[in-house]
Amino acid sequence: MNRRSTVRIAAALAFVFAAPAAFAHAQLEKATPAVGGAVTSPAEIRLKFSEGVEPHFSGVALTAEGGAAVPLGKPSVDPADKSVLIVKVGKTLPPGVYTVTWRAVSVDTHHTQGDFQFTVTP
């Protein structure tokens, strides 16, 4: 194998291994309340992503079992960790199953979305 072939192979391998990082998106890693968890009425919803998110372009919606929207505050990020999106819950939640629907725009402008449920216990 000559020097030119070695350089080409090394460059190709570098591109292949660097590509996943270049195309990364903010993936949900953890939620409070936990995905599928049971809690008393939460004061806020905290979503931890795999990378920093832009609160002005990200959003969270909360709906009760019957589909009624629950009022939430404006999204913000934790000052100590820009990958944590926080929304305040506007009222005490009665017992039941709730659905969190989120969309996140990462600092590199890629967007992701998803949803999960949690249960509020008496």
Q: Please tell me the number of Cα atoms within 13 Å of 121 on its side-chain side.
A: 6
Burial status of residue 45 (CB atoms within 10 A of its CB: 0-12, 13-18, 19 or more): buried
Instruction: Report pLDDT digits (tens) over 70-112.
Output: 999 999 999 999 999 999 999 999 999 999 999 999 988 899 9
Amino acid in the structure at residue 118: F
What local confidence, expressed as pLDDT, does residue 12 receive? Answer: 45
Domain spans of the chain, in order of start: 25-120
Instruction: Report pLDDT digits (tens) over 22-76.
Output: 446 889 999 999 999 999 999 999 999 999 999 999 999 999 999 999 999 999 9
What local confidence, expressed as pLDDT, does residue 88 receive? Answer: 98
Amino acid in the structure at residue 116: F
Q: Please tell me the number of Cα atoms within 13 Å of 26 on its side-chain side.
A: 28
Q: What is the model's pTM?
A: 0.79
Q: Which two tokens stand for residue 82?
A: 């820009």
3-state secondary structure of 65: coil
CATH number, span 25-120:
2.60.40.1220
Q: What residue has token string 């659905």?
A: 99
Q: What residue has token string 């600092």?
A: 107
3-state secondary structure of 11: helix
